[in-house]
Amino acid sequence: MPSETARRSQATPLKDAIEAFLKTFNLKSKFNETYLETFWERMMGKIIASRTKEIYVKNRILYLRIDSSPLRQELFMAKTKLIDLVNKDVGESVIDDVIFL
């Protein structure tokens, strides 16, 4: 029977095990897209999130329906910054473009 120390040295941290699982089954990009949709409010704040009526990712493009024309225009003007912010928060490149619906 292996000792406690031997078992610990063979143990994989849960985070690493989940990462390996997602990569093995090609689920990493879908996981990141879902993360983005789920944590949109935390990333962008309550005001922007409350004005966001639809959000989804398809083919590395973030689709947003914003119900405020001035806010939509402001986000459009800051599109590059928005892409960088989202990708940084997720921890890897998830989106390449943003389309406002």
Residue whose token pair is 């590395």: 60
Q: pLDDT digit string (tens) for 64-98?
A: 999 999 999 999 999 999 999 999 988 889 899 99
Predicted local confidence at residue 98, as pLDDT: 96
Structure tokens at 89: 């928060």
- Per residue in 22-72, pLDDT tens? 677 666 677 777 888 888 999 999 999 999 999 998 889 999 999 999 999
CA distance 14 to 19: 9
For 93, how many CA atoms within 13 A lie in the half-sphere containing its CB? 5
Structural domains in the chain, CATH included, are 26-100 (3.30.300)
The phi, psi pair for 56, rounded to 5°, reads -160, 160
Q: Which pTM value belongs to this model?
A: 0.73
The identity of residue 55, as a single letter, is I
pLDDT value of residue 86: 92
